[in-house]
C-alpha cells in the first residue's frame, strides 16, 4: 500500500475532509470558489478508514464564511474542517446540520413564492431524520429530502 499524497499540501487555508463522497462536487459548486486565486483542489472516491469512500476539498489562503460552513454542514454532516496555518492544523470543526438555511436552496415547488417574486430569498428549516436531512420550505410548507434540492449555484 502506498502512502503517497493524492492532492497537494497547503501551508495556509482550509481542508474540508471526510466529505460524503456523493456530496463533494455539490459542496464545491455551492461554495462558488472557482474564481478564487490560489490553489484549489478537490477529489472524491478516496479511500477512507472510516467511510467506504470520501471526498476532500483544499483551498489555499481561504477563510470560510458562516454561510460556507452551513453549506458543508448541510450536504455532509460529520465532515471535518481543518484550519491550516504554516502547514499545521490549528483548529478543527466537525460539521453539524444547521437548524435553518436561507438563500441557498431552490424550492422545487414551482408555485412557491420564492420562485415567482423578485428579490425573494428561500428559507428552509432543517432536521435529520433516518440518516437523511429533511428541508421544510417556510413559504410553501413542503418537505423535501436535501438530495432533491438544487443550490442557487447549480
Per-residue pLDDT of 4-22, as tens digits, reads 556 778 999 999 999 998 8
In this structure, of 32-46, 82-96, 108-122, 125-139, the range with the lowest mean pLDDT score is 32-46
Q: Which three cell numbers stand for residue 1?
A: 500500500
- Beta strand ranges found along the chain (DSSP E): 13-20, 40-46, 54-60, 80-85, 88-94, 100-102, 105-106, 123-129, 132-137, 143-145, 150-151
Q: Which domains does the chain carry?
A: 13-94 (3.30.70.140), 100-151 (2.30.30.20)
| Mean pLDDT, rounded, for 26-53 | 83
Q: Which residue has the cell 456523493?
A: 22
Residue 131 pLDDT more than 80?
Answer: no
pTM, whole model, 2 decimals? 0.81
Residue 35 pLDDT more than 90?
Answer: no
Per-residue pLDDT of 77-114, as tens digits, reads 899 999 999 999 999 999 999 999 999 899 999 999 99
pLDDT score for 125: 97
Amino acid at each position: 500500500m502506498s502512502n503517497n499524497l493524492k492532492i497537494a499540501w497547503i501551508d495556509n487555508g482550509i481542508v474540508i475532509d471526510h466529505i460524503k463522497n456523493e456530496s463533494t462536487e455539490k459542496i464545491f459548486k455551492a461554495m462558488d470558489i472557482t474564481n478564487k486565486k490560489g490553489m484549489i483542489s478537490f477529489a472524491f472516491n478516496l479511500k477512507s478508514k472510516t467511510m467506504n469512500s470520501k471526498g476532500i476539498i483544499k483551498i489555499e489562503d481561504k477563510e470560510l464564511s458562516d454561510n460556507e460552513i452551513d453549506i458543508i454542514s448541510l450536504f455532509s454532516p460529520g465532515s471535518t474542517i481543518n484550519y491550516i496555518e504554516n502547514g499545521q492544523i490549528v483548529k478543527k470543526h466537525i460539521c453539524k446540520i444547521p437548524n435553518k438555511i436561507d438563500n441557498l436552496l431552490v424550492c422545487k415547488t414551482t408555485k412557491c413564492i420564492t420562485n415567482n417574486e423578485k428579490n425573494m430569498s428561500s428559507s428552509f428549516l432543517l432536521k435529520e431524520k433516518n440518516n437523511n436531512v429533511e428541508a421544510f420550505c417556510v413559504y410553501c410548507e413542503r418537505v423535501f429530502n436535501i438530495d432533491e434540492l438544487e443550490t442557487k449555484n447549480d
